[in-house]
Amino acid sequence: MSSYPDTEQTVDTVVDLQALHAGMLLQRLRSRITQMPSCCWNASPHMFVRFSVPVDELVSCAASDVPKPIYWLMQFPTVPRIYWRDRLGIHEYAGVGITHCIQGCSTSVPSLVRYVHYCTGNAPDHVRYYGGMRFYTCNPVLSDTVWSAVPDAAFTMPLLEFEYNDHDACVVHCTVMLQQGQSLSAARHKAAEQLEHLERHVSLAHNTVVCSDIQQTAVMSRVNAPEHHDWRRNVRVALREIESGRIEKVVLARRATMLCRKMLDPLRLLHQLMPYSQHTTAFLLSLTSDAAMIGTTPEMLYKRSGNIITTEAIAGTRRRGSTPSDDERMSQELYTSAKDRREHAAVQRYVAAVLDEITESFTIGSVDVLQLAHLQHLYAECSGKLRPEIDDAAIIARLHPTPAVGGLPRPPALSLLERIEGFDRGWYAAPVGWLNAHAAEFAVAIRSALVAERCVHAFSGAGIVAGSEPETEWQEIEMKITPILSALYNR
């Protein structure tokens, strides 16, 4: 799989080289668009045409210089961009620009998802819409300007998409949308025009106002919502609700907002997080040029291939040890912790109940410890065969929010969150991913941040159950944003 340089200086050197490669690729792609193989499909009243070619047919370079998707994307800092790398590191996708965007309010998520299915019903398997939605699927009680540049729910098909596999083979797809009945020559002409537009962005990329060097961003201030004393109060309120028997678990979250001296490229920040991304899904969703959601999340909501679904139960947290023996001690402490096992069991029961509703049969694996770069969690994989009437919209409605990010029972736990949490979660802890009529992959947007203007809003949460202690939980949510803080404060 792709490796990433360890220093910002190395990144700058590579990116300068990739700027040349990106411009060359776009020029050659545009010049060869009339000869490139294509596929087309209809979704009335639209027709989609996709041109595809291996990157190495357009740009020849030494193996060490083969462009990686994160480097391609750095050439388009003012263009909507998408990045997705699955948790196993097998598949990596990067998208630039927008061919088709479907968006709406929180309550319209089922219709948006089903419209994506309609638009891809006759499409090749490699056509994907990327996107996500707000945490609250109803109209939120809390809202603020932090999320003003982000739609409530949106899925987009990129204009240009790079598709990698674990052998570093790369295919580039260029997709255009036309009115049904237009000719293939019209599609080639439209593709050439839009690629020429992207070329101009490549040539202007180094003149953008976005700060390309994380080391120059200089954090000027930090504000937490809630602050420490309010967090402690919220935990005590939650514990009283648990003691009363009204809820079993609730996941309280916090937003830490860092104001930087300059605007920064969210892709650069994501790159800085890559050393912490072991066994996580890494993503960037920048559906507008004004804001981007980034993250390296350990939690998969579900994967679907045809009618087979895979999901998981994940809960409980410990840091990784500083030595092998310390690491083993922390792992065993997590595995045998009564508090953490109760928290994980609650998630496991929830997932089993959902799978019982939506599948004809399912299995739940044994509990194990999922070890990440600096944290570890209790984990169990689950899979099943979907009932014929169940689609992605139904899966999302049943699974989200899981007890790992909301609580149990779900209605009273969410009601408590809306009452005491004190900030708008937006897309934090919500489903993000890609889908088409044939398959889907959604992660839960934890270990995530929203980058907008000069601000980085980093989110983290902790599961509150009987036995939780306010100060311990505060230390946990601080630990979970350590990678972002390390990148921003140059630690």
Quick check: 78 and 210 in contact, CB under 8 A? yes
Strands 407-408 and 359-364: unpaired
The angle formed by the CA atoms of residues 320, 4 and 429, to the nearest 5 degrees, is 55
Report the C-alpha gap between 322 and 170 in whole angstroms: 37
Distances (CA, A) of 284 to 84, 273, 295, 298, 331: 7, 12, 7, 15, 30
Give 264's DSSP letter: B
The string of DSSP codes covering 421-475 is S-S--TTTTSEEEEE-SSEEEEEE--SEEEEETTEEEEEEEEEE-TT--HHHHHH
Q: Which two tokens stand for residue 79?
A: 């263009």
Count of other CB atoms within 10 angstroms of residue 360: 11
Q: Which two tokens stand for residue 393?
A: 């919209």
Q: In 160-265, which ranges are continuous DSSP H helix? A: 184-204, 228-244
Show the beta-strand stretches assigned E in 21-90: 38-43, 46-54, 81-85
Nearest to 141 by CA among 375, 462, 424: 424
Count of other CB atoms within 10 angstroms of residue 109: 24
CB burial readout 409-439, b (16+ within 10 A) else e: eeeebbbbbeebbbbbbbbbbbbbbbbbbbb
Cis peptide before 470 (omega within 30 of 0): no
Nearest to 417 by CA among 253, 307, 299: 253
The secondary element (H helix, E strand) that includes residue 130 is strand 129-133
Quick check: 153 and 106 in contact, CB under 8 A? yes
Give the residue numbers marked as catalytic: 249, 299
Strands 38-43 and 46-54: antiparallel
Distances (CA, A) of 94 to 129, 190, 275, 478: 12, 21, 19, 30
Q: Which residues pair with 300 in a beta bridge?
A: 443
Quick check: 129 and 436 in contact, CB under 8 A? yes
For the chain, the residue count is 491
